[in-house]
Amino acid sequence: MKVFLMYPDRDFEPEQKLPSVEAVLTQDLELNTLFEAMALGDKFLFEVAQQALLSSLDTPGTIHYRQEILKDCLKLPDVVRQIYRIPIQAVENRRRHWIGVFGSSPSAILSSARGTLEMFVDLLRTLKQIADEHAEQFESRGFRRFFAMIQQELDDDYFAVVTKHLKELKFRGGVLLSAELGKANEGTNYILRKANHNNWDWIERVVGRKSPVYSYTLHPRDESGARALGELRDRGVNLVADAVAKSTDHIDSFLNALRFELAFYIGCLNLSEHLAQLGEPIVFPQPAPASERRLSFTGLYDVALALTMQQKVVGNDVTADNIDLVIITGANQGGKSTYLRSIGLAQLMMQCGMFVPAESFTANMFSRLFTHYKREEDATMKSGKFDEELSRMSDIVDDITPNSIMLFNESFAATNEREGSEIARQIVSALLEKHVKVFFVTHLYEFARGFFDKNMANAIFLRAGRRTHGGRAFKLIEGEPLQTSYGIDVYSRIFGSTGE
């Protein structure tokens, strides 16, 4: 049995290696805030959310496949959580009783595997009941295939056969074995035989002809004999114990896969409910192929900021189709970094099949996403800030591929204006030549103005402005870079209004 709720044709592999830029993305985009909102204190949900969000899908078709399933989850959250409790119950039962395959003797293996299988069968009955009651309410290809598989493979005949075998495997009437004599009269070829349950009535059983029976009864204190008899029993049940253990492992693998794959959607449900409480919108994005250049959205907001502040935050609108370069300038604390983070978060959320924090969102996919943010002074640095920036940029260049997205935030500002602008210009030009999409938040006026004066058809310039008296609108608008440090804002905060 296969779950196939994360991919249409393969299992979700939670242990796969995460991108090497994982730690940097987590820090720069404040991803832990998002993971914590999805997990609600559950370590397992946190790890699955981290794995899924940082393992981007590579085709629009797979994104749509997950979106369909997530839409069903949002429509029927109680049913989905009811299904999720089934593998969780399996985990809790194993922890409580630990009826896994432990011990070295076949009898111990058989006993523990049989007990586990009995517990699993009860959980599968519950899953079958949910499928029978709710399958018709689900519309996604993933859930419809999943429920059809459950109803087909877990039918009444399946449960009848399994229940019968589990009853027989308790061997309440003893174990019937056959064996042969081998070399030196050693026993060999031990085989477990099916008990001869005939259908004679009671008269036949009393007066009927019986086969001769040769028996031997152990003395209650004969420990050596009991041990030898136990060894004979183990030889007979060895193959059966192995078969039951494999059947148990098969069902355990299915329930474990169901737990991993549904955990992603449970995390999405937790996040959507939290954002709904804040009054923030969510929308399912429209992904475009990586080879295209698409970006348009309305009401896009920084979900990490909303979760941190626990209130609605300002969203932004933009239309930037056929754009490779977005340069963002303007006032300090005007929403530039927040805007940049909202782009990165939305791209990651879109490409793992989630909804995004916006009223509408369309964007091309990416092969990799990288961030290069300025770092505060660190006493442990072996070199200066500027050297550290160049070192990180060198590492990114080694990994970056065409159709990647690169987010710069105040990069190369640790040197003078002219040198920083020239380095930024050369790096951005090289990235554009390699078909990398670039977003750059900067105060380097020469750098921004140099690209603006080129009148590039594939570039757009956004600016964070300020209101009268230094207030912030936190809205970005299209506009040319301005040669100002907004020192008047600092003056106003310290000495009061300037009379503007």
Condensed to tens digits (0 to 9), the pLDDT of residues 264-298 reads 999 999 999 999 999 999 999 999 999 899 999 99
Compute the distance between CA of residue 170 and CA of residue 114 in angstroms, rounded to an integer.
Answer: 8
Query: According to the model, what pLDDT value does residue 97 have?
Result: 56
Total Cβ atoms within 10 A of residue 163: 13
Phi first, then psi, for residue 438 (nearest 5°) are: -120, 130
Compute the distance between CA of residue 54 and CA of residue 366 in angstroms, rounded to an integer.
Answer: 12
The edge-to-edge listing of strands for the beta sheet with 360-364 is 286-288, 360-364, 295-300, 316-319
| End-to-end CA gap in the chain | 71
Mean pLDDT value across the chain:
85
How confident is the model over 72-87, as pLDDT tens digits? 999 999 999 999 999 9
Query: According to the model, what pLDDT value does residue 499 have?
Result: 44
How confident is the model over 134-157, as pLDDT tens digits? 999 999 999 999 999 999 999 999
Q: Tell me the sheet residues that pair with 449.
A: none
H helical segments located in 217-290: 223-278
Query: According to the model, what pLDDT value does residue 100 have?
Result: 46
DSSP structural state of residue 356: B
Compute the distance between CA of residue 337 and CA of residue 331 in angstroms, rounded to an integer.
Answer: 11
Strand 405-409 versus strand 316-319 pairing type: unpaired
More confident call, 312 vs 104? 312
CB neighbour class for 307 (10 Å; exposed up to 12, middle 13-18, buried from 19) = buried
| Size of the chain in residues | 500
Query: Of 215-219, 354-358, 375-379, where does mean pLDDT reach its minimum?
Result: 375-379
More confident call, 491 vs 197? 197
pTM of the predicted model as reported, rounded to 2 decimal places: 0.85
Contact by Cβ (8 Å): 469, 492: yes
Compute the distance between CA of residue 87 and CA of residue 76 in angstroms, rounded to an integer.
Answer: 18
Query: Of 119-123, 224-228, 242-246, 293-297, where does mean pLDDT reach its minimum?
Result: 224-228
DSSP structural state of residue 232: H
Comparing CA positions, the residue from 15, 54, 50, 85 lying closest to residue 259 is 85
Q: Give the mean model confidence (pLDDT) for residues 401-415.
A: 92
